[in-house]
Amino acid sequence: MNQVNLKQKRRDSVRFNILLLLAVFLCVGATTRAQVSIGTAEAPVAGALLQLKEKKNVLNDSLNAYKGLLLPRVTLSDKNQLFPMFLANPDNPASGPNTTYASDKTKLDKIHTGLVVYNLTEDKSKDLCLGLNQWNGKEWVCFQHEVGNAVGHLVSCNDLNIFGRYKSPNAHPVALHPDDESLDGSNYITLKLEITEPGAYNITVTPEYASAANGETNGYFFSDDGIFWERGVHTIMLRASGVPFWYTPVGSQGDKLTVMMNGKTLTLNNGTPCTKNIVVENFSKKPNYTIDCSQKTVHGTYLFNRPLNPQENYLSIWIEMNSTDTSVQGATVYLETDEVDGISFASIPTTITFADRIAGRKEIILRGKGKPTSAKINKMTVSSNSATGKTTCSVDVMVVYAKTKILGIGNTSTYGYNIADQNGNVNMSQYFEYGACKVLKASLNFGKDTTSLVKVDSLLFVDVDIPNAGDLQNLIDNHEPDIIVMAYNYRPTDVTTFDALDDYLQKNGVVIAAIEDTNTAELLFRRTLKNNAITCVSYKPFGTIYTFRKADKSRSVNLVNDELLNGPFGDVREKYWGEDASLTAAMTNVPDEDVIVYSDGRFNNMQPAPDEEDMITICRFKDRNLVWIGDGGFWAAGLNDVEIKASANCPFYYDDDFKPVPKLFGNTFSTDIHNSIFFANMMSWAIKTAQLKGFNTP
């Protein structure tokens, strides 16, 4: 007969209940605490959701454990797929995606960003590596690489460019002279490489002397080393070192350059080498010549924030000499400019030949380098090495913003709300090109004329009236606008539109949003700033006058250097703007650290109440290229000049040359408002920002 030990049974039951209670406690604890430590009962450090440690009371960066984290071991089979996680058959890479992944891949790819595994196989043909891999939302990325030697080729011989001045007083084979000059930071070579296999590189150029009989080098070289982590085109700068031993003899093309990478000659993809030479100037002999300032030409287009291409961006200048002066023959000519706003020009040292002397004149090419830091006319001074005193000449080089595409969204039938509306609505033929569009298209304001206030190659306009819900992403994909300008009566509230707008802003797109609809404006702020406490209210009616600020709310930061308030078209600080024909939208509960406020709730020149000063009617976001205006008709214009001047519905104004100017406005037409001047400053800022760090910035 089986006997039952009742005491033992009760003990087992108690133990089970205790263990069950402990498990429940741990589960509840784990779900109620946002942060967890494993290996010790200590609370995790403040910045960690999960902390693994064994040793207690370790509060610095010293050893805190003797064991590690063991990650799952998997077999990855596709660089761009979450396999085997979502394979139809996890043991068969050829089985394809399961139904869940096939139907919702984009979403699943994004939410698995940060997934880490240990891959058991390596497949170079699929760019999959052995070891730790992380999913970045689009593909698997190796944690580590075995670094071998990089493999690649020169993209083009035209992209192999030489910079700086090279000179020596010595003829071959004379030894070094005390006057010899070491090369410095102005001496370098740039080249473009197409890297087909990432890895380490050591690139060198050791010039062979122009008249070398036995491959003699000329005392200087160029080099750079590092690691190419990615395939594709890379631009490399090789810094010069050393001292040129000998100057280039008359009749020679100069020192021969051969580019080497990892001990092998670099060629074009077809195996053809690039032939380049450096002329070392004979500075023991200075020629007598003058610069003909009437014979100078600026070649190429100069774009703001875009590196100069020496083959396209250069100056041609003629020099003159006495055809009977035999001393000039064999001497070296060198011209250069000063550096202005990030760019400069210099010639390759050029030897005067017998034919040059007899002709009495010669064209000298000065190649450009650098990246323009402003869009304006730069006055460059050309200097020379002529023995005939300090011969100089000035050259004007115009730098412009690149072609800028503006997507206009807003009503195209009345008052010019949509700034991209080119001809007015076909059913409203009495309307001409509206005020804001006129100001933007006037070359006196925006263009590449010498008189243009804002130098820009051209403005391209795309208008779409009021797009349907969800159409914004298609518009962005199809047109790739540099700037999006929204105005009355655009008032989307659908998630798809705001997803597209948020993505565009995160990719540095520039947005001007003149939105007075409180629901849309509130969604814009809440989505962009990730803050649901922000609210928007309808505020004051048409004809209300608001004040542009001159400092932040604390009065501690002066906005004198803000390009929207004090820009190329004028200074509007402590001046006024007017609401057109509706109610102004005003934002509240917006943290000061998120925006720069240009206009608050102050109106009609009255002393503001505390809550009115806390309101926002115009602002710029600090972490996004976004300006918001609480009036959808901020730049509304009328049917004709009479209405533009007289109408209380039309706060936008300009003179006969379409230059933005103040306008008398308000219920008694007694206050100068500056809507058009702020608008023009704002568009100048938008164009510059789009070029400097925008959606299409290279």
What is the pLDDT at residue 101?
Answer: 94
What is the pLDDT at residue 619?
Answer: 95
What is the pLDDT at residue 144?
Answer: 73
Extract the residue ranges of the chain whose pLDDT is less than 70: 1-34, 145-146, 176-179, 389-391, 413, 421-434, 553-556, 605-611, 639-648, 667-669
- Model pLDDT for residues 594-639, shown as the tens digit of each residue: 999 999 988 875 555 556 778 999 999 999 999 999 999 999 887 6
Reduced to 3 states (helix: H, G, I; strand: E, B; else coil), residue 527 is: helix
How crowded is the C-beta side of 316, counted as CA atoms within 13 Å?
Answer: 9
Token pair listed for 27: 């589960």
Token pair listed for 291: 């610069």
CB 616 within 8 A of CB 595: yes
Tell me the C-alpha distance between 562 and 552, whole Å: 11
What is the pLDDT at residue 5?
Answer: 41
Q: Phi/psi at 339 (nearest 5 deg)? A: -90, 125
Token pair listed for 499: 């997803």
Burial of 510 (0-12, 13-18, 19+ CB in 10 A): buried
- Those residues whose C-beta lies under 8 Å from the C-beta of residue 427, and which sit 6 or more positions away, are 413
Tell me the C-alpha distance between 292 and 319, whole Å: 5
Q: Answer yes or no: pTM beyond 0.75.
A: no
